[in-house]
Chain A
Amino acid sequence: MSAGHGSAGLYRAGHSALHRLPAQCKIAAHLAFVLVVVCTPRETFWPYAAYALLLAAVAAVARVPAGFVARRLVIEVPFVLFALALPFLAHGPRVDVLGVGLSESGLWSAWGILAKATLGVIASVLLAATTSQRDLLLGLERLGMPRTIVQIASFMLRYADVIAGESERMRIARESRGFTPRHLGHLPVVAKSAGALFIRSYERGERVHLAMLSRGYDGAMPRLDSSATPASAWATAALLPLLASVALALAWAGR
């Protein structure tokens, strides 16, 4: 699958142990790890440090630089803003922080949301950085995701590039005729372009689909290796959620 506009920069090709791990193992491990993080009580701090260290170790194994992960954290910004507002909005007893009265429970919530969401985003970024889109889709299919869903997802990712290219050509066509949308009065033109974009993309997509059918496509991408997932791969992938759940168990025991 070609890396297009929507997907540019998500995947970092490589040959690390993490890259070689089958996608279905990585997806399952990712889900289990995030569930462990969500269930961790926010009153204990050290398990979060342990989770962060575990993710740092995973990143080191996968040779994903910290700067790459940091840039992708931007996706979290809307909820960070919300979390930062919590200490001012929440109820309950107030504590003085630098002379400002803040809600104590609000501070705890803000910390909990920020820590859990950030760990979740980092884990997702590492998954997408070490697994190509095609492999992720195959992994989902092997985990029992219904075929229709996988099929829609693969068409969607394929069409993202078609739509982006088509919309770029339409923008150039508009601008070369002297039209640049500037104010709200121009909205109807933009919306008509969106409708035209839909139809043009559909008609190109139809041709793509016919070309695929004529090359033997029957609703599923061919599998290059049909062998079952080795148990060792599952064991390797299970390391991350297992170590995390040890920290979780200790955190609950220590309360």
Chain B
Amino acid sequence: MKIRATIFLFFLVSQLNAQKYTISGYVKEAGSGEVLIGATVVDKNQPGNGMATNIYGYYSFELPKGEYTLKASYIGYATKEVSVNLTENISLNFNLEEEASSLEEVIVSATRSDENVSSVKMSTEKLQIERIKSIPALFGEVDIVKSLQLLPGVSTSGEGTSGMFVRGGSSDQNLILLDEATVYNASHLLGFFSVFNPDAVKNVEIYKGGIPAKYGGRISSILDIQMREGNNQEFEASGGIGSISSRLTTEIPIVKDKSSLLLSGRRTYADVFLTFAKDENIRNNTLYFYDLNTKFNYRFSDKDKIFVSGYFGRDNLGFQDLFGFDWGNSTFSTRWNHLFNDKLFLNTTLLYSNFDYGFDVNTAGSGFNWDSGLQEYNLKMDFDYFLNNNNTLFFGANAIYHVFAPAKITSQESNIQDFNLQNDFAIETAVYVSNQHTISDKLSMEYGVRYSSFAKVGPDSVSVYADGERKRPENEIQTDVYESGEIVKYYGGFEPRLGIRYLINSKNSLKASYNRMRQYLQVATNATAGFPTDRWIPADFHIKPVIGDQVALGYFRNLKNNAWEISVEGYYKWLQNVVDFLPGEDVLLNDRIETAVADGIAWSYGGEFMLRRNIGKTTGWLSYTLSRTQRQIEGVASSEPYLARYDKPHDIAIVVSHKFSERLSFSGNWVYATGAAVTFPQGRYTINGQNIAYYDDSKRNTSRMPDFHRMDLGLTYELSSRWKRYNHEITLSFYNVYNRKNPFSIEFRQVNNNDPTFNESEDGPITSTRPAAVKTALFGIIPSLTYNFSFN
């Protein structure tokens, strides 16, 4: 009751103001017609009166009757001013021209210049795609997810891999959205590249904490990626030829100012290089991936706009004719933006996501095909209600139908018999409401609540075990059978969200946030890095949803007219019902997953420091994270707390770009992280003639890999062009420039002739054998050359 009264009072204050009129519209890029996200439209004389555009480029705010000069601005674009005599509600669109900046004014930010300090948002990072493209990358392949790993609180599982671990969360605790559709496996080549073609991407934003109520379904982070819409003014093409892949993107205006189509593709040609390998076993293999992105939009009017986008990507791995393995994602998004009036904006989205993999084993007598997949059908409605200048309400609902088909094995007329693992079905729903509330010039809040629910539905058969006994097949006392659509188990709960910003002055602010998240799906894996065959499992009769709470506090400061940003954040996160494998168990073909896992708790805490420069000839950032991540699972490591493998107390990244001239620019980064927490052996023995290490099973991850550090450098030179509309550049980059042999793995095994790569058939007779620790370092110094072009 008290809360309701408080909210009422907040709204009442706004109602007491004088008669006001609404100004609303879109802010777009003049050259392409693409909407600009986060652009600001304000009253020039009172910049406090105004609004930033939402992710569809829409803004709405109120002013009293009168004459105003409205100013629309966006970093990197020329500010535009329009005078209006406000006597009624008006609709006003801005088309901003890209600014030809001088060398001293290079800007690499996708946010308002003072957003670091002024926004309620914390624990959120937005990276401009041009910034991502400038970071030197492995084999020259620009990688969005790996760029995010350079931010504080986001770490990687190992050399070159694209899995993300955010503030101590595991990689399946990140919700990865591409045009709002879930991407279940965001990596190619078993994790060494992410699936996002940077040419097709417009906006990248990651929420590590203080997650708004509109998002849910994962505990640790939300990675929200929007694809570009495509130029609706004139034809445009761009692409690149790299060391391992090539890309081509075309943007086609269908109806000028109203409609455009974007088509973008990327394919690797590692398989072409394989044919040059000396080893026949490698030469005859297949290894490639490709991505296709497409997006179509049509603007019926300023009130109605539709977007249809899709992504299709696939990896193929083949071992001669004997073995084939392929996997991939596909997503499909249809969105309809509708303005009921100048204050109420609705986005209705219909989404489809699919991830599947399959392999064929063609060996004589035991050939079979294996197919596995999961699908998500999602309907969302998200409302933005611009109640007044101090309150913007966000509310909505969504419903997801999940289908999990973990394994279907089909014989190739061999001794293998057909086999099906039971499919799983579930319905996940959520409703939410939140308010972005400016209480005073100094105090702003965003508060809200989300209610999510999850129903595991039939057909299903559930094993029931004897009370007090471990969930083992031998302890099963009955099997309950559920018909199609019948509810097997229902979970639900509130997820409160809160963000507070106190503006000390225009250069300093303090922020705090709290969020609770519920996650109803998890990946059942006992390895750290994701593998395409990892099985997503839903919460069910035995496995509960993971619940995560996080509090964060931060101090934010901007210096030198917002050219420098400083932020210091501390967080504490605690999770319930975290699942881990019991030693020796496997779930790949297990119909009773509950027999293989145990649940427990996890917690992580840390501090993150960020110093960033966005404007000037030299830009970049320094980030440092000090953190700890632990778990405690019944039946694992004597049920005592243990460190997660990805616990990295110290994690440092330095990212620098420097523009020497209009044509020549340099970029570089250096990363350092404490070595992963791992388990080393405490002895050795021999069984069946096999030498094998002995481990102390009462402890886990008490040792450390050697520390990780690496420097990458890149130079980009813009080539001269005979044609005005054709621009091209060449990038030379060096990954791991000082050739640091960072350990990808440390294996404990027998080594012959003191040579870990010894091959008896090639290297002669074995003269000695001994047990050793063998370090594998994946990538030494790797130079790469990329040619990029654009035609517009």
Same complex origin of A and B: no
A residues with a Cβ closer than 8 A to B are none
B residues with a Cβ closer than 8 A to A are none
